[in-house]
């Protein structure tokens, strides 16, 4: 999200495989009951036990407030697996949708 340069499919697949193999990363896919994918949330731990969160919402689901639900569900799933000392998100200042989603998720709380 912060890299302004195009990423090749091969680079993306290598990156994804590295994340899937890592014990310091967790990726969850958000799906409707029908199985349609709505987005993903990824957590990565640093050596201090803190997690950084990254979330993306499928283009067809944007504007539906599903981002906040994905954040809440992902954080709840994460707390079942491993409770990080802190979870942080890096958001571009002009990404109003992400800021709103994280604010809604925070206001309505996580488990």
> What does the pLDDT read at residue 10?
95
Nearest alpha carbon to residue 54 among 38, 67, 36: 67
The pTM (predicted TM-score) of the whole model is 0.78
> What does the pLDDT read at residue 105?
78
Q: Across the beta sheet with 51-57, what order do the strands follow?
A: 25-31, 37-45, 51-57, 87-89
* 3-state class (DSSP) for residue 99: helix
Give the phi and the psi of residue 99 in degrees, each rounded to 5: -60, -45
pLDDT per residue as tens digits for the range 33-69 = 898 999 999 999 888 888 899 999 998 888 888 888 8
Cα-trace Rg, the chain: 14
Residue with tokens 């990726």: 27
């Amino acid at each position: 999200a912060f890299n302004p340069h195009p990423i090749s499919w091969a680079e993306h697949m290598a990156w994804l495989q590295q994340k899937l193999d890592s014990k310091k990363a967790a990726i969850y896919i958000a799906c409707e009951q029908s199985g349609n994918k709505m987005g993903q949330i990824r957590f990565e731990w640093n050596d201090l036990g803190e997690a950084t969160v990254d979330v993306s919402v499928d283009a067809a689901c944007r504007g539906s407030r599903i981002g906040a639900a994905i954040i809440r569900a992902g954080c709840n799933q994460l707390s079942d697996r491993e409770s990080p000392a802190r979870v942080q998100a890096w958001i571009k200042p002009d990404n109003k949708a992400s800021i709103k989603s994280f604010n809604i998720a925070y206001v309505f709380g996580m488990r």
